Amino acid sequence: MNIREIVGLAPVIPVLTVTELETAVPLARALVAGGLRVLEITLRTPVALAAVEAMRKAVPDAIVGVGTLTRAVDFAAADRVGAQFGVTPGLTPELAAASRGARFPLLPGVMTPTELITARAAGFNVLKLFPAQQAGGLAMLQALGAPFPDVLFCPTGGITRATAADYLALPNVACVGGSWVAPKAMLVAGDWSGIEALARDAASLRKP
């Protein structure tokens, strides 16, 4: 699947930080059962890559990607565990080159018009606005829409259940990234039914 197809699968991509490997599979199962198939596992913990591999093997309906790719070597590591897409917080020539050698598509992060132009010149027109809230949020996306009508966004960073629908109402937003569907307290408690309920609610946030 290409990145445009992936971001079109669900209105919310859960941005997940897995700290305990044993929670990876039940977490993925709960989110997929709730209607959120596309999962981003951030490279912020020692077990992140193992979590991706476990999810890929145990939950075949999930589309599992690796987020927080910040170095070229991260792409090779993500490839080895079967990542189906990658996400970066920003884009450098080194990261763009690494993405071309990867077996999965990339959702690169941008924050400014200059970064957007650079990413588009590198061949990317589906981008993550990050951090969305700090970058200007809804107003920024509206402002970017006219000069860049060919660019589609997945804004991520500071987006909540209360604000997600406003983002999804914008024509240049395909989906949003959010961590509210898997709160830390629920993860610690193993409240998979609660997480499934949050996922089902998020999945109901279809674009108008």
Would you say the C-alpha torsion 181, 15, 166, 160 has a positive or negative sign?
positive
Marked catalytic residue, from 5, 20, 22, 40: 40
Judge contact between 9 and 200, C-beta under 8 A.
Answer: no
Residue 147 is classified by DSSP as T
The angle, 0 to 180 degrees and rounded to 10, between the axes of the packed helices 48-58 and 72-80 is 30
Task: Report the distance separating Cα 12 and Cα 60, nearest Å.
Answer: 19
Max CA separation in the chain (angstroms): 46
Marked catalytic residue, from 5, 22, 128, 207: 128
Name the nearest CA neighbour of 50 among 15, 89, 26, 22. Answer: 22
Helix (H) or strand (E) holding 132: helix 132-135
- Active-site residue, 40 included: yes
- Active-site residue, 57 included: no
Catalytic residues: 40, 128
